[in-house]
Amino acid sequence: MGKGRVAVIGTGGTISAIGRDAFDLQDYDANGTMLDAAELLARCPRAEGDPDCYAVPFSAVSSTAIGFAEWRKLTLLCGELVDRDPELTGIVITHGTATLEETAYFLHLTVKVGIPVVLTGAMRPWNGLSSDAALNLRNAIRVAACPEAAGLGALVVMNDEIHSARDVSKCSTARLDAFQSPGHGPLGRADADRVAFHRRPLRNRMLDTEFAIADIEALPRVDVLHACAGGDGALALAAIAAGARGIVSAGFAPGETHEPEAAVLRQAAASGIIVVQSTRAGSGRVPSTSRLVANGFVSADDLPPHKARILLALALTRTSDPHRIEPMFRRY
């Protein structure tokens, strides 16, 4: 394999953060110092055979500040980079871990390039004791330059593992192995000697999706409701009053909610609001039971609520017909 040429887009987050000292592993945001993409590359150890890289400025913020406006810009930027650099073989996006999986899934559904797009972050700041920042960045660059990574959709590289953007979730607040793909496992690993893949995703992604966002200035409002024992329909009513065109129910496993809330959601579905039933369990499919069908709800399949929200919002830019939207949850 050739060395390759990789563009590194910096968006901020823990991977860019500089704490007060090596032991500042939790409150480093208070230090107010973040490195841009060029500074990250300058500090990242590289081997002689590593891909050539260049930095692309974007932002230096916590990922809690990132939403649709930034997702849209990143999607379009990926296309622009490919258009103006025919030698480009991969793109890396450094990102805070709080919303990394959401950004990754949005790009997985909207980016229209044939080269790998890899997101990475860190669980510890750049100067923290035993920081994972530099190794995660180097591994992401290696994966982005790997020909086998092309066509897999957006990827997430953390803790030596390569995950599909669709499957991956942050499953811990602070552990180095926080990013997992429950029920699926990683696509491969960035080992010391080589990048090794052992499976490919089956769902449609990137070039194979129907979503085009260049002319979309805002996504339709979609709210997520977290089910709890004894819950009523007050939050569902608030979502409806706020103008939600879609609601994702993060229900009890395998996919139900307390009856007072379900009653409000049934009314919402009958009025034309798309209600998608997911689960708060963290993994597993929501089956299309007779009750689900009778309620007029769409199954989220095995998408967690926050990713079901992204797919539903994009789906609503194409159609408001639940019979057309439900197959999207099986296709993507």
Name the CA dihedral angle for 178, 57, 154, 46, rounded to a multiple of 10 degrees: -70
CB-based contact 140:92 (threshold 8 Å)? yes
Q: Enumerate residues 6+ apart whose C-beta is below 8 A from 24.
A: 31, 125, 128
> Residue written as tokens 């599909």?
164
15 half-sphere exposure, CB direction, 13 A CA radius = 39
Residue 126, classed as helix, strand or coil, is coil
CB-based contact 173:25 (threshold 8 Å)? no
Q: Hey, which bits of 265-311 come out as E strands?
A: 274-279, 298-299
The Cα 221–Cα 106 span in angstroms is: 15
What string of H, E and C letters represents the secondary structure of 28-44?
Answer: HHHHCCECCHHHHHHHC
Residue 254: asked if its preceding bond is cis (omega within 30°), the reply is yes
> Residue written as tokens 């953390």?
158
The Cα 145–Cα 65 span in angstroms is: 29
- 69, with CB counted inside 10 A (0-12, 13-18, 19+), is exposed
The Cα 149–Cα 4 span in angstroms is: 12
256 secondary structure, DSSP code: B
| Active-site residue identified among 14, 110, 209, 279 | 14
Is residue 97 among the annotated active site residues?
A: no
Residue 317, classed as helix, strand or coil, is coil
CB-based contact 34:2 (threshold 8 Å)? no
CB-based contact 166:203 (threshold 8 Å)? yes
- The catalytic residue positions are 14
